[in-house]
Amino acid sequence: MDSVQIGLLGCGTVGAGVVDLLAKRSGRILELTGLRPQIKRILVRDLEKPRALSIDRALLTNCVDDILNDPEIAVIIETIGGTSPAHAFVMRALEAGKHVITANKDMIAQHGDEILAAAARTQTDVLFEAAVGGAIPLIRPLKECLTANVITDLQGILNGTTNYILSKMTATGAEFGDVLQEAQDLGYAESDPSSDVDGLDAARKLAILASIAFSTRVRLGDIDVRGIRSITAADVRYASEMGAVIKLLATGSNEAGHVHLRVGPSLVPKDHPLARVDDAFNALFVHGDAAGDLMFFGRGAGSLPTASAIVGDVIEVLRNMRLGVSGRLTPAPNSSKPVNEREPAPAAHFIRLEVGDKPGVFAQMAALFAQKSISMESVVQRRLNPLAAEIAIVTHDVSAGVLARAMKELQSLPDVVAVHNVLPVLKGDSTS
């Protein structure tokens, strides 16, 4: 029976889960592939750090050359994270003819083109199912099962931290800052939460998904990104009164060869399946022209859920090695489509503003909306104090340009104190 030697880079939350799951599934992997994967060395930063008992300390090294220069090691599993030094290690591994499995969305979003080109050149596999959506199968369905479709829409909740914060704000009525603090105390949010709350983590995942789904190269800088720091308890409460919840959505559309990509807070009608994706769960809604609507849902992070995706990739690499077809399934995008160069399709919007509590203010606002042909679907008005009132509006579909001009004029009306938030509203039915 042949064994395949594996080098594991990183042994934190994900790496330790991989060690455990590979050990637990070794019999099944042997049955499926005829090969037995064996972790030969594990790279860590700190050799003295306490580790789970399942980690054989004799395998630990803090010298990457022990792994990358070892000709017996055929497969690298990268779970270090970040772009440096992970990217350099992965490039060296590919140049040495080793297959690479990674959970690293930062590296794939930023250096995916170069890594996939190196894999094609060296006839090696690079698989990264765990990089987006943790346990949820997303990359393989998009790159294999759905290739008979033109994928026209992606709508996802791809970041567990922000989804936890928004779910908590919805359930308790608390403010963003308080819930963030609680999430940090519980270890659900990093001490520097900016990558999550400013939308960058979701944008990196959207860049990876959209590149595959829309067969194009997407750069992070192409995506219109907005985080959730500006969302207040008031926004959440008005959204709820208007039949919706606020979610950080990653959305992509592909219409007539033009791609539109956005990450930002949006209202999701309570009857939409994405509205019920709460806490640390992730989900992706996909519309394919033949398949129709599909939704993928599950645990987007965690030690074993992420290891589940990585070990699935290990099995695919072993199968490919067995069949002698390594390096044939790399999903290199074959076209380049313009991204965010046109206005997105018109959409309904939620607007929350504060006005002087005087007669005629609402009429002024309504006149401005009528002049711009913006019609209102629902309006809630509440007195804040004897001098000020708050108005929340949901419009019917309006183009981004018309809306931006209307908001500028609205701000300049003498009795409008501030326009606090303007958020798109997801259509109740993703196909309409």
Ligand X SMILES: NC(=O)c1ccc[n+]([C@@H]2O[C@H](COP(=O)([O-])OP(=O)(O)OC[C@H]3O[C@@H](n4cnc5c(N)ncnc54)[C@H](OP(=O)(O)O)[C@@H]3O)[C@@H](O)[C@H]2O)c1
Residues that bind ligand X (CB under 6 A): 10-15, 43-46, 49, 79-81, 85, 103-105, 130, 134, 301-302, 306
* C-alpha distances out from residue 77 to 147, 267, 296, 314, 368, Å: 27, 38, 25, 8, 58
* C-alpha distances out from residue 221 to 84, 109, 200, 252, 340, Å: 19, 11, 10, 14, 10
Residues 15-50, buried b or exposed e (16+ Cβ, 10 A)?
bbbbbbbbeebeeebbeebebebebbbbbbeeeeee
Which residue out of 205, 247, 372, 427 is catalytically annotated? Answer: 205
Q: Which residue is nearest to ligand X (CB)?
A: 12
Please choose, from the candidates 120, 169, 101, 165, the residue with its C-alpha nearest in 3D space to the C-alpha of residue 316.
Answer: 101
Would you list the DSSP string of 17-67?
HHHHHHHHTHHHHHHHHSEEEEEEEEE-S-TTS---TTS-GGGEES-THHH
Taking the least distance from each CB to ligand X, the nearer of 11 and 179 is 11
The answer to whether residue 105 is catalytic is no
Shortest spacing between CB 299 and ligand X, in angstroms: 9
Element (H, E) at 185: helix 176-185
* C-alpha distances out from residue 320 to 5, 314, 367, Å: 15, 10, 65
Taking the least distance from each CB to ligand X, the nearer of 195 and 364 is 195
Shortest spacing between CB 148 and ligand X, in angstroms: 29
Shortest spacing between CB 106 and ligand X, in angstroms: 6
Give the span between the Cα atoms of 231 and 352, in whole angstroms: 11
Shortest spacing between CB 10 and ligand X, in angstroms: 3
Shortest spacing between CB 341 and ligand X, in angstroms: 30
What residues are labeled active site?
Answer: 205
